[in-house]
Chain A
Amino acid sequence: MGNYILRRIGQTLIVLVCVSLVAFFLIRLAPGSPAVLLLGDGATDEQIAAKEAELGLDKPLYVQYFRYIAGVFRGDLGMSTQYRMPVSDLIANRLPNTLRLAFFTVLLGLALCIPLGIVAGSHRGTAIDFFAMFFALLGQSMATIWIAVLNVYVFSVVLGWLPAVGTGTWAHYVLPVVTLGYPLAAETTRIGRSGMIDTLNEDFITATHAKGIRPSVVHWKYAFKNAVCPVITLVGMRLGAFLAGAIVVESIYSWPGIGQLLKTSVGNRDYQLVQSLLLLSAFLFALVNLLVDIINSLIDPRIVLE
Chain B
Amino acid sequence: MEQLLEIKDLRVQFKTERATSNALNGVTLSIGKGESLGLVGETGAGKTTTALSILRLLPDAARILDGSITFDGQNVFDMTGAGNDLSSRQYKKLLEKQGISETEMRKIRGNKIAMIFQNPLTALNPVFTVGEQIAMVLRVHRGMGKREAMEYAGKLLEQVGIASYRVKDYPGQFSGGMRQRVGIAAGIACNPELLIADEPTTALDVTIQAQILELMKQLQTQHKTSLLMITHNLGIISELCQKVAVMYGGQIIEYGTVDAVFRDPLHPYTRGLLGALPNLEGDRERLVAIPGKIADPQNLPNGCYFNPRCEHKCAVCESKQPEMIKISDDHFVACFQAKGGV
Complex interface: chain B residues within 8 A of A25 (CB): none
Complex interface: chain B residues within 8 A of A207 (CB): 115, 117, 123-125, 183
Residue of B nearest to A207 (CB): B123
Contact between B186 and A203 (Cβ–Cβ < 8 Å)?
no
With contacts A209-B57, A212-B140 taken as known, whether A226 is within 8 angstroms of B109 at the C-beta atoms is: no
Chain A contributes a number of interface residues (CB within 8 A of B) equal to: 21
- Asked if A251 is at the interface (CB within 8 A of a chain B CB), the reply is no
Contact between A212 and B125 (Cβ–Cβ < 8 Å)?
no
Contact between B122 and A203 (Cβ–Cβ < 8 Å)?
yes
With contacts A212-B110, A302-B172, A305-B173 taken as known, whether A204 is within 8 angstroms of B136 at the C-beta atoms is: no
Contact between A226 and B127 (Cβ–Cβ < 8 Å)?
yes
Complex interface: chain A residues within 8 A of B114 (CB): 210-211
- Compute how far the CA of A197 lies from the CA of B110 in the bound complex, rounded to whole angstroms: 24
- Asked if A214 is at the interface (CB within 8 A of a chain B CB), the reply is yes
Contact partner, B127, options A206, A212, A214, A300, Cβ 8 Å: A300
Residue of A nearest to B52 (CB): A206
With contacts A210-B114, A211-B140 taken as known, whether A203 is within 8 angstroms of B123 at the C-beta atoms is: yes
Complex interface: chain A residues within 8 A of B119 (CB): 203
- Asked if A220 is at the interface (CB within 8 A of a chain B CB), the reply is no
Complex interface: chain B residues within 8 A of A300 (CB): 126-127
Contact between B111 and A212 (Cβ–Cβ < 8 Å)?
yes
- Asked if B106 is at the interface (CB within 8 A of a chain A CB), the reply is yes
Residue of A nearest to B183 (CB): A207
With contacts A225-B128, A226-B126, A302-B172 taken as known, whether A210 is within 8 angstroms of B57 at the C-beta atoms is: yes
Contact between A222 and B125 (Cβ–Cβ < 8 Å)?
yes
With contacts A222-B128, A299-B127, A301-B170 taken as known, whether A212 is within 8 angstroms of B106 at the C-beta atoms is: yes
For chain A, what secondary structure do more than half of its interface residues adopt (helix, strand, loop), or is it mixed? helix
- Asked if A88 is at the interface (CB within 8 A of a chain B CB), the reply is no
Contact between A210 and B128 (Cβ–Cβ < 8 Å)?
no
- Compute how far the CA of A299 lies from the CA of B110 in the bound complex, rounded to whole angstroms: 26
Contact between B186 and A211 (Cβ–Cβ < 8 Å)?
yes
Contact between A206 and B57 (Cβ–Cβ < 8 Å)?
yes
Residue of B nearest to A205 (CB): B125
Chain B contributes a number of interface residues (CB within 8 A of A) equal to: 29
- Asked if A12 is at the interface (CB within 8 A of a chain B CB), the reply is no
- Asked if B156 is at the interface (CB within 8 A of a chain A CB), the reply is no
Contact between A209 and B126 (Cβ–Cβ < 8 Å)?
no
- Asked if A54 is at the interface (CB within 8 A of a chain B CB), the reply is no
- Asked if B55 is at the interface (CB within 8 A of a chain A CB), the reply is yes
Contact between B107 and A302 (Cβ–Cβ < 8 Å)?
no
Contact partner, B172, options A205, A208, A301, Cβ 8 Å: A301
In whole Å, how far is B246's beta carbon from the nearest beta carbon of chain A?
25
Contact between A209 and B109 (Cβ–Cβ < 8 Å)?
yes
Contact between B172 and A213 (Cβ–Cβ < 8 Å)?
no
Contact partner, A214, options B106, B115, B186, Cβ 8 Å: B106
Contact with A along B67-87 (1 / 0, CB 8 A): 000000000000000000000
CB contacts under 8 Å to B, within A161-182, are none
In whole Å, how far is B140's beta carbon from the nearest beta carbon of chain A?
6
Contact between A212 and B124 (Cβ–Cβ < 8 Å)?
no
Contact between B57 and A212 (Cβ–Cβ < 8 Å)?
no
Complex interface: chain A residues within 8 A of B125 (CB): 202, 204-205, 207-208, 222, 225-226
Complex interface: chain B residues within 8 A of A212 (CB): 106-111, 137, 140-141
Residue among B52, B109, B141, B173 with max Cβ neighbours from chain A (10 Å) = B109
With contacts A206-B57, A212-B106 taken as known, whether A301 is within 8 angstroms of B127 at the C-beta atoms is: yes
Residue of A nearest to B55 (CB): A210
Complex interface: chain A residues within 8 A of B52 (CB): 206
- Compute how far the CA of A36 lies from the CA of B243 in the bound complex, rounded to whole angstroms: 95
Contact between A210 and B106 (Cβ–Cβ < 8 Å)?
no
Contact between B140 and A203 (Cβ–Cβ < 8 Å)?
no
Contact between B122 and A204 (Cβ–Cβ < 8 Å)?
yes
Complex interface: chain B residues within 8 A of A305 (CB): 170, 172-173
Residue among A202, A206, A226 with max Cβ neighbours from chain B (10 Å) = A206
Contact with B along A272-306 (1 / 0, CB 8 A): 00000000000000000000000000011110010
Complex interface: chain A residues within 8 A of B137 (CB): 211-212
Subset of 11 A-B contacts with CB under 8 Å: A204-B125, A205-B125, A209-B55, A210-B57, A210-B109, A211-B109, A212-B107, A212-B110, A225-B128, A226-B126, A299-B127
Q: A204-B122, A207-B117, A222-B128 are in contact. List 12 more A-B contacts (CB 8 A).
A: A203-B119, A203-B122, A204-B123, A207-B115, A207-B123, A210-B114, A211-B110, A211-B136, A225-B128, A226-B127, A300-B127, A301-B172
* Nearest 4 CB-CB pairings of A with B: A211-B110, A212-B109, A212-B110, A203-B122
